[in-house]
Amino acid sequence: MDIIFLEQVKVQTKLGVPEWERMMPQTIILDIEIGYDLTNACKSDAIAETIDYGAVVGRIRETLTEHSFQLVEALAEHVCQLILNEFGALSVKIKVAKPAILPGLKALGVVIQRNNKSN
């Protein structure tokens, strides 16, 4: 399996356990690895043979603007399922980071990995 990676994707969303934290959008940072068979794309040099990473980023930004989450875990699962279901990925690994949310803390977050059960 091959990997398409999207590193340090900055996205605005409403995220946090306290209600006040979800009042205003905040920046989160995503690192995403998408498992896909790139054999045909390597041979054809055609976008139709791969996952359009611009479309992935656009769709993530769209859905995170529309939704609010209490937990980074729920946000990570939402993005994984979106990539698996809408883009036909074989697997997705995502790191979600909330930067500088607590004093003296660079970031907090989660890393999860999911596989497409239909492939």
- Residues designated catalytic: 98
The closest of 88, 90, 87, 85 to 113, measured between CA atoms, is: 90
Relative to beta strand 91-99, strand 26-36 is: antiparallel
* Calpha distance 76→30 (Å, rounded): 9
Give yes or no for a contact between 65 and 12, defined as CB atoms under 8 angstroms apart.
yes
Question: In the numeric block, which tokens belong to residue 12?
Answer: 């605005």
Give yes or no for a contact between 96 and 76, defined as CB atoms under 8 angstroms apart.
yes
* Calpha distance 4→77 (Å, rounded): 18
